[in-house]
Each structure stands twice: as C-alpha cells, then as structure tokens.
Structure 1
Amino acid sequence: MKKLMTAINIEWLKTKGLGLSYISVILGALIPLLGFVPGFFMSEMVVEGKLPYSVFEDAIGGDAIQSFTFFILLLFIIIAANRIAQTDHKNNGWQLMETQPLSRFNLYFSKYIVLLVLSFICVASYFGFNIVLAIADYYIHPDPAKQLHFDTLWMIQTFVRICMTLLGIAALQLCISVIFPGFIWSFLIGVLGLASNITSLVQKKSFFFNPYSSLYEFWKAPEVRNLNNFISHSEYMSLFWTVVFLTLGYFWYSRKGFKNAFLKNKKRIFISAASLIIGAGFLYLFQKPKAYQSDGRGITIKGKLETDLKIDSVHVYSKEFHKKIGSAAVKNNMFSWVTTQPLPLDEYILQMGNKKLDIVMGSGDWFDYEIKLNGTEMISYVKSNRKADQVYKNTESSFGNEFAYTLERQNYNNDPKTFYETAESDWKDNKRILDHFADAENNALSEDYKVYRKQLMAIEYLNEINNYRKMTSWNDPKFAAPPSFVKELNENIQKPGPLLSKNDNYLQYKLDQLLSDKDQASNPDSILFIKIGKMAKGISRDQLLTKHLSKTMELQTDSLTRNKLFATEISNISNNDYKAMLYAKIEEINRSQKGSVFPDLILLNNQDKKSPLSKYKGKYVVIDFWATWCGPCKQIRPVFETRSHQYRYADNIQFISISLDQDKSKWQNYLKTKTSNVPQYWLTDAQQFMNKYKIQSIPRFIIVDPEGKIFNFNTPFPDEDNFIEILDKLKKY
C-alpha cells in the first residue's frame, strides 16, 4: 500500500505541469456558469402557487446533471486519460519500467487512481459551483418557492452515483490512451462512444456490448428518488467494465503489447480465451433485464406527503367508473394502504384531495411514493416492483416521431405507398422498443402489461389505417393497406385482454369493423345502431353501444334529437355502470349546451358584498374563470382587460372576472397589487361548480346571454381571432 501511495504521488506530480486540475475545475463549472450567470442580469417572473423547492437540487439535478455527465464529464475523462498516458509515451516509460523501484501494477493502477481523483474534482466543481451560484440566484431573484434546503443524503447519493458511473469509462479511456500513443485515436474512440449513446437516445435502445452505455443508463434516470435502489444498473455495469478494462490495460501495459500479454504462448492463449468467454457470460447476465417479480397476492401502497393542504386520507379508485377500491388515513404526513383482495391488472387512480395519480397495478404489486403537492402543482417519485410498466406508460407512445408527423401533416394522402411504408417501418421500430424495453434499473416489463401494450399498439395502427381510408378512398384499391401488414396487426389482437376490451381505441376499431366499405360511404352512424342492436346481449355489446351513443350525442347540436336518440337506445344497455355513465353524459351535454340555463352564481366582491350573477341580466356576460395560482390565467388577464376596454361602448356586453381560489384572502391580496377595470368576484362554491360542469382546467371563458342562458360554454381565448369575431357579432344584436 505504501508503494502504491508513492506511485500515486509520483503520478500526481507528473500532472502538475499538464494543467489537468485547472481543466477539471473549469469544465465542472461550465454548465453552472452558463445556466446561472446570464440570468443574473435579467428579471425573473415569480409564479404564484409554485411548489417550494430546494435551489440546490434544482440547480444540480434535472437536465443540467444529464448534460454534465453525458457530455462534459466524458470529454474531461478523454482529455485527462490521454494526457496522463502521453507522459509515459513521450518519456518511453514502457521500455524503462524495469528500472523503476515500483511494481508494474502500482505504476498502472496509480495512473487510474489519479485519473479518478481528477474526475472526482470535476464532479465536485460541478456541485460546488451550482451550490454557490444557486445561493446567489436565491438572493438576486427572490421567490417564495425557493428554499435554501440542503438534503445531505440526496447530495451524497447523487455524487456517489456519478462517481461510480464514470469508473468504467475512466478505465476504458486509460486503456485506450495506453494502447495508442497519439491523442487522436483515444479522442476519436471517446467521440464514437458519445455518438453510440446519442444513437441509443434516438433509438431508445441500449447496446449491451457498449462500455459507454452506463452514461446512457444514467441519462434515463438521474433522480435518485425515482430509483428502487440508488446504486442501480448503470453503476453495476460501470463496475463490470472497470474490472474488464483495468485488467486488459494492465496486462497490455505491463507486458508491452497485445501479443506478449495475451498470445505469447498456448497457456496465455487459453487463459485469454477462457477469460473472454467468462467475461461475455457475465456481460450477458448483467445486461439481461430482470423479470417482473410479484410480491404475493395483495397490494401495498404507502407513501409520504409533503404539503400545506389539509389531507386526512388517500383514496384508491378504479379508473373506469371511478369506483372506490380503498382508502388510507394520513397520519404525520404518512399513509399506508394494504389489501389482500385480488385485483386484476388495470388502470387505477390514487387521489389526494383534488390531485390524482394514475397507476397501473394488479395483485402482487407494491408502491412506495414520495409526493409533494399544493393547490397548484404536484410532483411524485415512486419505487415499485412494477416500475418498468409505469415508466413505459409515462414515456412511450405507439407511434414514432416520423409517423406521428406524417399523421399530423397528412403528408401522403396522395401517396399511399409511402404512407404504408412509413407506417410499417414505424410499427417494427416501436414493436422492437416494446419487446426490449427495460427501465433505468434494468427491470423488464411484466408479460401481461407487455401483451396489452402490443395489442393496443396494433389497434392504434389499424385505426390510423381506417382513418387514412376515410380521408382518401374506401373504394379505390390503391389506398388499401398491404395485406401482410394488416394480417400481422390483426394477429396481435386475436385474444384481447380485459384492459384492451374496454379501451376507447379498441372499441372504435370494433365499431369500424362492423361497417363494410359500402356502409362507410353511406350513413354509418345509423347503420351502427342497427348492427350493434343485432349483437348478442353482454358486456361487449354494452361497451360498443355506450361508445357509439356517447360519441353521437356529443355531435348532435339539436337537444330534441339528442334526447330522443338517448331515450331510444338507453334501454338496450344492460350493464348498470354503463347506464349510469350515459345518464351522466347526457346530463352534462344538456347542461352545458347553448340555450341551457346557467346557474345564478352567488359572487362576492373584494369588500365581501354578495352579488348574484343575475344582476347583469339583459347583457351578454363574458366571464373569465381564473385563480391566483394559475400561471396561464394571469398571463391572459391583460388581454382580457384589453378586450374589455375595446368593447366598453357596447352597452349589451359586460366583462367580469370570477376567481376560483379556495382561499379568498389570496385573491383579495392579489387584487391589492393588481388593480383592474373589470369587475372582480370570488365564487363561494367553486369546487361544486367545477365538478358540476366538469371543468378540468382554467383559464376558462364562458359567455352567458341576456336571459341568463349559456351562449358559448367554450369561448375561445381573448387573444384568438375567433373571440373577436364572436364579440363583433354580439354588438349587432
């Protein structure tokens, strides 16, 4: 050990004149400086209602840490490894090893240690500059959401992950720099490694034989809170490549060449071949995705809440019909729900107050959440045995960028050959991604979820083929899809599972299948009601009829026709859940359609004086529903004010603004600093109103006519031309 320390000291002295320490600090500071310094000289908009966050974690994590690790750190390791090795190349160190008082192992390993120390300095520089600049930004741009909260455990875990991820890359680059005396080869191989990782990002595929892929794996999941274990697949692979390239580099270095190291005699050839086979075997085992593991019969969901809201319980609902599955009391901001009830793989909802999280789960699953939320935002981190399924659900879609762009732009409406070639190529790529998908911890998709997603993917391609035929021609055979492609897609949906059978895309596909080409060209809506009516009673018929009736009711503009259609078809639904869904649907449509009576809302002004909405009866009332925590609401308010001023001489038009804030004092305080010429009100029963009218997001603009009836329930935004066209027409009435 003493001799190794001596060797390390000697190697460190050699780097003194190379300026590597300075380069490591400068490169570590590069991203923090580029990210913070320009912003110091610009104003920063304070967004009310934003979740409190640590300025340190915000600066170090996210996109910045991905870019630093993926690009900057790799660049530094390439430079440093080459410069360290070049000293020996220039001084003919290989030939003079026998004259050194230290072993060859100490000589080689000390170079690796020095390279690691320099790399760690670069990482420390990145962390240090971010911390200092984040503190400066905290005081230069004060914001109630910013906190000087230092999570030591998070810092240590993140720092350790980066350092472990670079171990294998450092061993590889040192090995290359020792083998090739010139700078160019080590640099080109390093750039090739970077290019391979960029290819992985584009193709969403990790190449198992690529030593640089640990950087790609880190890129996919830089946040330690989102990992089941903070030492994950990228770190384990880095350790594997460390052993491989330290061994390879040492023997090449100590025996002065590849032939002497591995092919000098039969014994060395045998040992080299055996080592290669064993290494390949370990690589295969390490890279093989870990299969989904059920944790037993029941389900466990636990977690920690960080919130200023009063939440006394967390509820679990089925996504379909919103049926309550269970609930857990919140004590000391912690909750735990355990059930031994067998539940099928399905989509569920975890609800806290008015915030929801979608979950894919089934019997045998466990989830451990860390959730931060307030009235505006929610951020969640999860650990789970079904993590890969959650990641795929949240990040992957059925279509690639090229085909999605083709659908959006309708580029090939007159070129069916190119359209179908693009679709088929896209299908193969996305099927490959699904078949080989693993999350950042190398967890594979569960088989049941993979089957469902492949079926759903096939359905979505079939639906787009049908849509293409509707836009082009049902009768011209040149617009028909290649039979082999359609056959392959259909083969994937021969046995639809429970999840697929109730999916909207699948139901639309089944409806399209009921229609012949001739039916598509005539009156498909009426024909579908007839054909569905001839089906045998059961859940399948109920699902199809519910889907088609719901869609048809939405398209009907005449309430008498809509209600008559509903009354005719509702008796054909057997399932009570689907019946209830349709009753709620028609009530929602009728309630919000043009001509329906709008409720006489009880409003409070900023002096706490009550005013009914009916005080404006006799005028068209243009209402802006907003809240102080809503960023887009506050951005559009100046335009709403401008429009109010623009139509100030229209005696039959009145602009008003209604706040949906839960806390009236926040609204009142906001008005003290932001005066307005538009009458301002606060709605006392905002949540009830939003639930009744299914208002999911704001800002929302509604126009009520002079009789207190709905004139336009989804009015365009004030900055849109359609808004002006509507108001100009109202002036004439």
Structure 2
Amino acid sequence: MKKLITLVNTEWLKIKGLGLVYLALVMGLLIPVTGFLFQINNPSFFTSEDLPFSVFEDAITGNLKAFSMFLLLLYIVIAANRIAQTDHKNNGWQLMETQPISKFQLYFSKYLVVLALTFLCIAAYIGFTILFSLLDYYLHPSEVKLLTFDTVWTLKTFIRLCVAILGIAALQLCVSVAFPGFIWAFLIGILGLIANIFSLVQKITLPFCPYNSLYILSKASNIKSLNHFITYSEYLSIFWAIVFLIVGYFWYKGKGFKTAFLNPKKQIFYSSAFILITAGAYFILQKPKSYTSEGTGVLVQGKIETDLKIDSVKIFSKDFHKEIGSAAVKNGIFLWQTNQQLPFDQYSLEFGTKKIDFMMGNGDHFDFNIRYNAANIEYFLTTNRSAEQEYKNKEDGFGYELSYSIEQQKYNDNPTKFYELAQADWEKNIDRLSHYTDSENNALSDEYLGYRKQLLAIQYLNEINNYRKMTSWDDPKFAAPKAFLNELNARITNPTILLSKNDDYLQYKLDQMLTDKERLSNPDSILFVKLNTLPNTLNKDRLLTKHLVKSMELESDSISRNQLFDREFKLLNNTDYKKLAASKLEQLNMSQKGAQFPDLKFLDAQGKSHLLSQYRGKYVVIDLWATWCGPCKQIRPVFDTRSHQYRYYDNIQFISISLDESQSKWQNYLKTKPSKIPQFWLSDAVEFMSKYKIQSIPRFIIIDPVGKVFNLNSPFPDEDNFVEILDKLKKY
C-alpha cells in the first residue's frame, strides 16, 4: 500500500506541467458560469404561484445532463490520454519499471490519478454551481427561491457521479495505454460522446457501451426519484471498470495485444475464459429486473409540503371514482395500509384540489414526496412499480414514417406498401415495449406489459379500419394480410381488465359488430339492436354505455337525448354503468344551450353577497380565473379591453369570478391589480367546477338574459370568434 501511495504521489507530480488540474476546474466552471451569464441577460421571473425551490438543488440537477454527458466525458478522454502519452513520449514506463514495484501498481496508480482529476472536475461543477446559484439568488431575489442546502443529498449526488465514471476512466486509460498515438484514443472517446448523443436523440439505452452509463444516469438526474441512489448506471460502471482494468493491465504488461492474450497458447485459454466470464456477468447485470410483489396488501405513505390546509389524503379508483381508503395527514406525514386484495388497476391519490394518478395492485408499496400549492404540484415517488409509474403517461404510437403516410394518405392507392409499413412498424413497437426498462433497469410487470401490448394492437386494428373506410370496404385488395390481422386479433383474444374498460377497445368491439353493408346504412340504430341481443354481462354494459354516451353526445336537443336515454337505460344492469350514463346525460343537458344555469351566489371585495340573477335581462360574459393561474392573469387585460369595447351596450355585462381557495389572496391581488369589471369570489368553487366538469381555467361562459346557458365554453376574448359572438348579441 505504501508503494502504491508513493506511486500515486509520483504520478501526481508528473502531471503538474500538463495543466490537467486547471482544466478540471475550467470544465467544472464552464456550465455554471455560462448559466449565470445567461441569467444576467435573460433572468427567469418567478411569481408567488410558483413552488418554492432550493436554488442549489435546482441548478445542480438542471445542468447535470449537459455536464456529465459532454464536458465530464470529454475531460476524462483528455486526462487519460495526456497521462498515458506523457510516459509514451519520454519512455517513462520503462524507467518506472526499473524500480522495485509491480506493474499492476504502476498501472493502477495512473488509473487512480485519472479518477482523482475527474473527481476534482465533478467537485468543481458542484462547487461552482453552488457559488453562482448563491450570486444569482442575491442578484435576482424571489420569494420562491430558497437557500436551503441538503448536505446529504449533495454528497449522494457527488458519489453517484463519481461511481458512474469509473468504467469510462478505465476504458480511456486502457485505450490510451494500448495506442501510443494521441489521435486514436481521442477518436474512440469522441465515438463514446456520439453514442451518448444518439441515445439522447433516440431515447435508447446502450448498456453494452461503457460511455452510456452517463446517459443512463442522466435519465434520473435527481436521486429523489430513485429507490436507491447507487443503481443500474453505477453497477454498469463498476462492471466496466473491472473489465477494462484487467484488459488494460495485461495489455500493458504484455507490451501488446498478441503477447498479452494469445502467446503462449495457454493465454488463449485464459483469454477465452475471461471473455466467457465477462459475457456471462454482463448478461446477468444488464438483464432487466422483473416486477416483484411484496407480500399481500398495499402500503401508501409519504409526506406533503404545502402552505394549504390538508387534513387527509384519499385514494380512489380511476373508473367510477370510488373511494378505496383515506389517511390523516399529521405534520405533513400520511400512511395508509390495507390487507385488502386490491386488483391491479389505475388509482388516484387526491388531496385538496390536486390528484396524482398511479398504477397499483396487491403487494405494492408507494412512498410519495409531494410539494404543492394552489397552482403547481411536484412529486417524487419510490415504489416497487417504478417502471409502470414512469411508463403510464407514455403514449404508444406509430413511428414517424407510418404516421406521415397516414397523415398524408400516401398509400391510399397502394395497400401492399401500406400494410408492409404498418407491419414493420408494429414489430418495432412491440420489440421496444418488450424491452422497456426504467432508469433503474426495472421491467414492466407481466400484467401491465400484456395490457400495453393489447392496447397497441387495438391502435393498429383501428387504423386498419380507418384505412378501409378511406379506401374500400368491398375491394379485397385493400384488406389487411390475414397473417398480420390474425396476429393483432390474437393479442386481444383474452383482454385484460384494463383493456376491457379502455375506450379505444370498446369502440373497436362496437365497430366489429357491424357488417360492411350495415356501416353504410344506419349504424347507430343497428348497434343498439345488436347490443340488446347480447347476454346480460358486464361486457354488454360497458359496450352499451359507451355507445349510449356517444349517441347522446350527437343529439342536438335535450328532448331527443332524454328519449334515447329512457329507451336504452333500462337495459343496463350494472349499477356503476347506470350511474355513469345518468351522470353523462345530466352533464350534457346542463351544458346544452338553453339549459338552466344556477343562480350563483358570490362575494365582492368588501364581503357583500351578490346573486348572478341581479344581471337578468342581460347577456352575462363570465371570466372564471384565479390568482394562481398565469394564463388567467395574462388574458385579463384583454377581457378588460373587450368590456370597455362593449360598454355602451346595455344588454351585455362582463363580470369576473375568482375560483381561489383563499379569499384574502384574491382581495390582496385586486388591491395591486384593480379592474373596472365587477369582481366576485365564489366560495363553493370546487363544487361548481366538479358539477360542470371544468378541468382548467381560464374559462369563459356566456349566460343569456333569462339565466340560461348561451355558451358554456366560449372562445377566449383575444380570438376573432369571441368578437363575432358579441357583435351578434349586441344587435338584440
């Protein structure tokens, strides 16, 4: 050990004239200082509706991908090359070998120096980022910027980066020792950089490429989103470090490839054994980790940071919004546990006006780390279903070439080419889905993978139907190849529970119930007849509800809609689907032009009560907004302008209704941003938005002079259609 320490000190002395220490500091400085200068010229502006954040953590994770994948990698390439080339040029290898030291110690000491320099570069990046974040904090102060410093988080991030470069450093040193010339080792390093760029653009992981460990790390730059801070990218890095340290050492010891691995003949045996062991270890390491159930029941826990009052969190099923359980929130901590056998399905965690969708089943655990306010939400989640959580919001879709051909109707006269392209695209998508893993190399569970494959098959089947509609149902030459069609249909023979409730699947099953001739006559009525002949099962209720809701949406008046509903509703058996159909009817009737609108009760800025009915005899143009809504505040001046534009028309009245949870925040905002338009606050905003299924704001509503709906979702005031509507109203 003493000799190794002496060698490391000697190697460190030898690099003093190479400028590698200064280069490490410059590489670490480059991104922080560039970001700081950019902020000076183009400062980011934050408002009270933004979530408070640590300026240090935000800056470190925000620039981590650019630093690690490019500058850090480039520095390792340069440092390893310069250290090796120094001894290549001055015959330092031979001079050192005359000393009473082992060749392994000599080789390993150079590797340690490369690591020390790289660690210095990483430390410089983190240190300079902290420094410039501090300067930016004082130059551009904001109430949402925090100087909170998490020492443990920072240390873990540093360690994770250090471990992730072990393999790259070993590879670059190996290549630099093997090739005396600078150019070859440098070019190989640049190829590694290009491989990372390829992964970034194509979103493809290349675990067989040692350089790709930095790309894998960058997929989850914040360790809060990981189950373990040392994970797949770091394990790969350690593996490649061991492999290339062995290869590099024997290459250096044998003074060449042939001597090291092929001469004498027994070396061939050792080399072959090494390759087999390495290949086996690599196969085991890169094999995706399958989903593992953790016993029975479910555990949902976590913490919530918010300035709003939250007493409890609730868990609902996604379909029908049935409450599964609830947990009290004490000091920002909640915990819900059940031994109930929950089916694998989509659920939502709800608190206040916010919710988080997630996949859950029996034997799962979830640990949420949530921060939110009235306007925004941010959360990290660790779970044994991490792959599902990462993939659930991804939409499986067609590749670029197939999507382009569909959009442009490129092969409407060439069915052979269309189906060849569709089949190739299908195979590519299935392969991608089958090999999907998250940043920790966790694979999708079999049940979820089966569902997503079935859903993908439905997309292709529906597109084939669309293609036949655009071309010909009768001409057999436009029919899909039987083998392709059979493969797609085989996927959905036994639909999973998730697929059986999916809208695209239900629509496909409805389409399949019609013959080609029936599609051209009166398909909606024919479908109702056929549906009514099916046996009374849950599947029938799903299909009937789907078709009933779609048909009701096409009806232009409430009388026809109600007649249709009365006729078909009695054929439904399942209580949940009955409630769903009835709720949809109520929503459609409420939203229809001419439907009675509630006489809302609201408060003005002085706390005085008002009723919407006080504006009877006028068309009331309502702006639904909130102080935490950025787009709402941007459109408000335009709304004010429109109000001024129509001020001389007595039959038109503009009003603004706030949906803020906090009345005081709304009142304080009006003190700084007064308006001539009457301003009101709606105390039961959540109930109102829920009743009318208002998912987002700003929202503009027009009520007619007798208190009925004229337009429940009016164009925005900066659109021409808004002016056209009001120009017609002012004539009445």
TM-score, normalization by structure 1? 0.96
Match of 1:671 in 2: 670
Tell me the SS of whatever aligns to 2:70: helix
CA contact (8 A) 2:595 2:709 kept: yes
Instruction: Give the conservation status (yes or no) of the 8 Å contact 1:94–1:253.
Output: no
SS of residue paired to 1:61: helix
Q: Does 1:18 align with 2:18?
A: yes
My pick for the range that moved more, 547-556 or 15-24, is 15-24
CA distance in 2, matches of 1:495, 1:206: 32
The structure-2 alpha-carbon separation of the partners of 1:580 and 1:703, relative to structure 1 and needing over 3 Å to count, comes to: same
Residues 679 and 151 of structure 1, relative CA distance in 2, 3 Å threshold: same
**Matched ranges for 1:208-357 at <5 A:** 208-357=207-356
Shift of 1:408: 5.5
Q: Distance in 2 between matches of 1:194 and 1:35?
A: 22
Question: d(CA) in 2 for partners of 1:401 and 1:640?
Answer: 41
Q: Which residue is 2:39 aligned to? A: 39
**Structure 2 CA distance, aligned partners of 1:205 and 1:23?**
31
The alpha-carbon deviation at position 573 of structure 1 amounts to: 0.4
> Cα–Cα, structure 1 residues 43 and 254, in superposed 2: closer, same or farther, change >3 Å?
closer
Please state how far the C-alpha of 1:59 moved relative to its aligned partner.
0.6
Corresponding position of 1:538: 537
Structure-2 residue corresponding to 1:113: 112
Q: Secondary structure at the match of 2:15?
A: helix
- Residue 4 of structure 1 is matched in structure 2 by 4
CA contact (8 A) 1:28 1:125 kept: yes
Q: Deviations over 1:40-72 (max 9, x none)?
A: 13354333322111111111114x211211112
Q: Once the two structures are superposed, what CA deviation does each residue of 1:663-720 show, in whole Å capped at 9, x if it has no partner?
A: 1111111111112232221112211211111111111111111111111111112222
Counterpart code for 2:51? L
Is 1:138 equivalent to 2:137 in the alignment?
A: yes
Deviation at 1:104, TM superposition (A): 2.0
Q: Bigger shift: 481-490 or 450-459?
A: 481-490
Contact 2:353-2:686 at 8 Å conserved across structures:
no
The 1:413–1:140 alpha-carbon spacing in structure 2 relative to 1, beyond 3 Å, is: farther
Residue 528 (structure 1) aligns with: 527
The number of residues matched between the two structures is 732
Aligned position for 2:179? 180
User: Which residue number in structure 2 is paired with residue 711 of structure 1?
Assistant: 710
1:623 alignment counterpart = 622
Residue 609 of structure 1 and its aligned partner are, at CA, apart by 2.2
One-letter amino acid of the structure 1 residue matched with residue 339 of structure 2: T
Q: Deviations over 1:137-171 (max 9, x none)?
A: 22222222111111111111111111100110111
343-352 or 477-486, larger mean C-alpha shift: 477-486
Contact 2:700 2:715 in 1 (8 A): yes
Q: What TM-score comes out, normalization by structure 2 length?
A: 0.96
Contact 1:204/1:433 (8 A) holds in 2? no
After superposition, residues 527-566 of structure 1 pair within 5 angstroms as 527-566=526-565
For residues 302-329 of structure 1, what are the alpha-carbon distances to aligned partners after superposition, in whole Å with 9 as ceiling and x for unaligned? 1112122222222111111111111122
Q: Distance in 1 between matches of 2:10 and 2:201?
A: 44
1:612 and 1:158 mapped to 2: Cα distance? 56
* Equivalence for 2:153: 154
Report the Cα offset of residue 506 of structure 1: 0.8
Decide whether aligned partners of structure 1 residues 234 and 342 sit closer, same or farther in structure 2, where only a CA change above 3 A counts.
same
The amino acid across from 2:607 in the alignment is: D
Distance in 2 of aligned mates of 1:36 and 1:417: 56
Identity of aligned residues (%): 61
Q: Which moved further from structure 2: 595-604 or 232-241? A: 595-604
The alpha-carbon deviation at position 548 of structure 1 amounts to 0.7
Identify if the C-alpha distance between structure 1 residues 415 and 223 changes in structure 2 by more than 3 Å, giving closer, same or farther. farther
Following superposition, the deviation at residue 95 of structure 1 comes to: 4.0
| Structure 1 range deviating more: 714-723 or 493-502 | 714-723
Which deviates the most, 124-133 or 233-242? Answer: 124-133
Moved more, 434-443 or 404-413: 404-413
1:338-362 residue CA offsets vs partner (Å, 9 max, x unmatched): 1111111111111122211112111
- Structure 2 residue matching 1:305: 3-state secondary structure: strand
Match of 1:432 in 2: 431
Unaligned runs of 5+ in 1: none
Indicate the residue corresponding to 1:122 in structure 2: 121
1:23 maps to a residue whose letter is: L
Cα deviation digits, residues 224-270 of structure 1 (max 9, x gap):
11111111011111101111111111111122111222222123222
- The runs of 5 or more residues in structure 2 that have no matched partner are none
Give the 3 Å change call, closer, same or farther, for CA 43–211 of structure 1 in structure 2.
closer
User: For residue 575 of structure 2, what is the aligned residue in structure 1?
Assistant: 576
**Aligned partners of 1:47 and 1:631 also within 8 Å:** no
Q: Tell me the residue number matched to 1:689.
A: 688
Cα separation, 2, equivalents of 1:185 and 1:594: 74
The superposition leaves residues 6-39 of structure 1 with CA deviations (integer Å, 9 ceiling, x where unpaired) of 2222222222222212222222222222223122
Q: Which amino acid aligns with 1:125?
A: A
Q: Given residue 691 of structure 2, which amino acid in structure 1 is its aligned partner?
A: K
> Cα offset for 1:580?
0.8
Q: 1:396 to 1:4 in 2, by over 3 A?
A: farther
Give the structure 2 partner of residue 592 of structure 1.
Answer: 591
Compared CA separation, residues 52 and 409, structure 1 to 2 (3 A): farther
Shift of 1:481: 3.0
Mark the CA change 1:706 to 1:45 in structure 2 (over 3 Å): closer, same or farther: farther
The answer (yes or no) to whether the contact 1:255–1:261 under 8 Å persists in 2 is: yes
1:120 and 1:205 map into 2 onto residues whose CA distance is 27
Per-residue deviation, 1:410: 5.5
Residue in 2 that maps onto 1:658: 657
